[in-house]
Structure formats: structure tokens, C-alpha cells
Structure 1
């Protein structure tokens, strides 16, 4: 039976997590509900990700008897109250990092999870990348197109804040991979390709003749 997920918050980070989660086999994981503070926001998120149940409050999601695990993507000042809401409702929780703002609040969350006998985990940044490595299988043709598009869009990767994310989103859109691969997954794919290139060209060193990597970032 598939693990049934509820998404708490309809922001960008929840979008990226949902995209990554949906790359997993549906017989193993399913996103069945989303909740936001505004019902309209939840409805838009549900439409984008084909989610059947929509709630205009986190409390409604906590009362849903068919949710196995809740992903919490709210901003971190609200992690304490939101984690307590779901752990006290006896829901398993995967919370975006950082789990809490300080040690005292973290202990309060951990105590609630232990008292209610539920699973609690802090989500680290590598979650989407792990999904990409072990679930999404790049074909040879997709990889070749990916390399070509990355080279052709080099001007988008300026080093400015968020520029890389915009660049990866554009490339994924051109490849028709939106909803299957996240920008973080694309970045990790590119990093792995660069490493393989350097390892093949400079066996044993992974570096160019000058001692510096030769592939573009």
C-alpha cells in the first residue's frame, strides 16, 4: 500500500518537494492532500500537482484520517507550532530544515513526537537530489540534449542570487521535464557530468593541467 502524503503549505519549497516526490513510483508514494492558510492558494497548488483533497487550514489537514505522513514546508519561525499540531494529531512528520529555531523548541517537538509515538524527521537539502539519482532515469538522448542546452544557456548562470535556479527551470521546460525533475536535481546531474568529464580527461586527478577544474560551473 502506498504511503499517503499531505503537503502543508503551498509555497515554492513545497512545490519542489512535491515534484520530487512524484518521481517516485505511485504504488509506493502518493500525494493525496494539500493545505494552505488561504483556500485559493491550496486550490491552485492542487490543480498544478493533480492533488484531490484541498484544505484552507492546517487543522483540517491534521484531521484527515487518510494521511500517513505530512510534509511541512512553512517558513521556519512556524515550525514549532506546525510540528506540534501534526504530531499531537498523531501524524508522522517530515519537516523542512531547520527543524526548530533553538534547542528548547527542538526538544519540545521531539518530546511531542515521542509522546505520540510518531515518526519525525528533518528534511535536508539533498532529498530531491536523492530522488533524481535513484528514481529518474536519464536516457542517452536526454543527457545529450541536457548538455547542449546547458552550454547554450551559459549566460543565464551568472552567479547572481537565484540565477542558476532560473536557468535550470528554463532548461527543464525546454526538455519537457518540468514536474519530473527539479532544478536541484538538474544541478546535481550537471555536477556529476562535470566530474565524469574531468575524471575521463585527467585520470587520477580530476583537474586540468593548471590544477583547476576546466569544466564550466
Structure 2
């Protein structure tokens, strides 16, 4: 256990996006590699529109990630990426959506929605290892909007910061997802890897 490289992954999105499904799938991928994994939901209102935050930790005993401790930040919604930046360690990896799903406060006009350029600027102050994807568009191209999350997981696996690559995620999709949604998610994985390398 002591020779396992510790990787702390912080995931954030809004309810209804499938953040927790993505968390479970990533944890199953880690497990299948024979690596110790802990995952947890930090807090979240899983109803549509609420903030959902979760963690996947490889080789760590605690499921918690403190400020400045996350090696990888996956933001399924850009405003949530910006909100979660304090958890990212300096120089960590960010994979973020560029497509907004504004929270209720923004939709009701009580809060301003930042521009993507502002979010990119905030991220670049923390790290130069950042990738941005139109995950909902990619999901739709693959056949289901929620599969955009798998595209982002594929990009994270291809970025080289995890102790495994996209083929491990592919195997986990085949082993854990219902057969009727496997093809869509495998296509999303392929598109996510391609988007990272574009």
C-alpha cells in the first residue's frame, strides 16, 4: 500500500448531471486495477440543480480532500470548477466543462454567471495543466447527454496523471454499466480521449 502513488480526485457538478455515477465508475475502474480506493460524496443535493461534490482517492486512507490537496479537479459544470478551485493543489490537473448548467440563483437572476474566459483565467492562476471540453455536446454526439461525463473521465485517464489509461475505463464500462448503455458510453470515452488530444 505504501508504494501506491497517492492521487486525490475532486469531482463537482450539479444535481441531475450524473456526477455520482461518474464517481462510482471511476472508483470501479481503480478497484479493477487492484489499487486501494476510497470514494465519498462530500455534500450535495442530488436533486436537479443542487451542487454535488464527490471524491475518489487512490492509495489514501481518508475519503476527505482538504483545501489545496486535490491532484485532479474534474468540473462537470464550469461555475462549479471555479468554485472548487481552492481544493486544487498548485500545478494539479483540471478537466472542466465549458457548457453551463446555471444554478437556480443564476437562472432567477440573483447571481451573475461568469464568462468562460474568467473561469479559464482563475484556473490558470492555479495550474497550467487544464483541459476544457464541451461535455454535453460530446455526450449528445455519443448518444446521451449524461455520457459527456464519461468523455471527461476518458480525458482524465488519457492525461497521464492516473496510474492507468483509458483502456482501464473501457473495461470498467463493459464490466459495470448495463449493456443497453455501454455502446453510448464507450463512444463517449473515445470522443473524450480525442478531445484531449485535439
More strand per residue: 1 or 2? 2
Instruction: Give the number of the structure whose alpha-carbon radius of gyration is greater.
Output: 1
* TM-score band, normalised by shorter chain: 0.3 to 0.5
More helix by share: 1
Q: Which has the higher contact order (CA 8 A, sep 6+)?
A: 2
